[in-house]
Structure 1
């Protein structure tokens, strides 16, 4: 599975407006819902908040990967957002998050959900890739960086 198989340029927000954890998740939910009418942003937020109660999806190094499962989607969905200012996401290293991947999976899809999370983690493990994503001019350039990395691994 490649990230570009599930990430559309339409679901990349190069400059998140929100400065809060909840706000970032809401922006990303709205992005997905804009092209998926069955996906209700409020219900998706409930799923994400429930997941966050188990532990923050802010994994450190400026990265957060909020994720959850819902019966309102039939396939894995992905959105990306970037905050140059950074957002307190209750990250493990207590530093602000700048790069956000929102992963939404069908209710009964453990395997594909975990593969996506692992692929995102591998992509963002590289300091150079994180820097490129932060320095990208716009959503198209962000998508191209992800696509180039998809070819690498």
Structure 2
């Protein structure tokens, strides 16, 4: 699956300054609301927080994959963010997180959702890609690191 099909350059942000899990999810909601006109920032943030309540999407190695299914949209949207400082995210390895790849998908596209998450997880498990993501100096470099 081609990550460029659901991640655009304007949904990629490098070295964002946030201080908590809630703030990074709110920031993701802000970005997503600019691209999903059918839903408000609060609705998107609530969907992500509701999923987080089921269990942390912090998968370890400083990576989190916040995701949610949205009722009122027809297109998948991804957001890639790195933070200037790692934050506590309740990850499975209890380590702080500084790479966030959020995925928002239409409620009725469960199979696509799983395929997209698998493609992202596979990319992020590549040590050379992850190193490029972590050393990116700007959003353009960050986008290139995940899409090349």
User: Under TM normalisation by the shorter chain, which class is it?
Assistant: over 0.9
Q: Which moved more, 1:91-100 or 1:32-41?
A: 32-41
1:68 alignment counterpart: 68
Map 1:50-129 onto structure 2 (within 5 A): 50-129=50-129
Q: Please report how far the alpha carbon of residue 15 of structure 1 lies from its aligned counterpart in structure 2 after TM superposition.
A: 1.8
| Distance in 1 separating the partners of 2:97 and 2:139 | 18
| Distance in 2 separating the partners of 1:120 and 1:79 | 11
Contact 2:25 2:49 in 1 (8 A): no
Q: Structure 2 unaligned segments of length 5 or more: list them.
A: none
Task: Return the TM-score normalized by structure 1.
Answer: 0.92
The count of corresponding residues between Structure 1 and Structure 2 is: 148
CA deviation string 1:53-93 (max 9, x = no partner): 11100000010000010112111110111013101110000
2:40 matches 1:40: yes
Structure 1 segments of 4+ aligned residues over 6 angstroms from their partners: none
Task: Return the TM-score normalized by structure 2.
Answer: 0.95
| Distance in 2 separating the partners of 1:57 and 1:88 | 12
| Distance in 2 separating the partners of 1:133 and 1:125 | 12
Contact 1:16 1:27 in 2 (8 A): no
Q: Please report how far the alpha carbon of residue 146 of structure 1 lies from its aligned counterpart in structure 2 after TM superposition.
A: 1.5
Q: CA RMSD in A?
A: 1.0
Q: Structure 1 unaligned segments of length 5 or more: list them.
A: 149-153
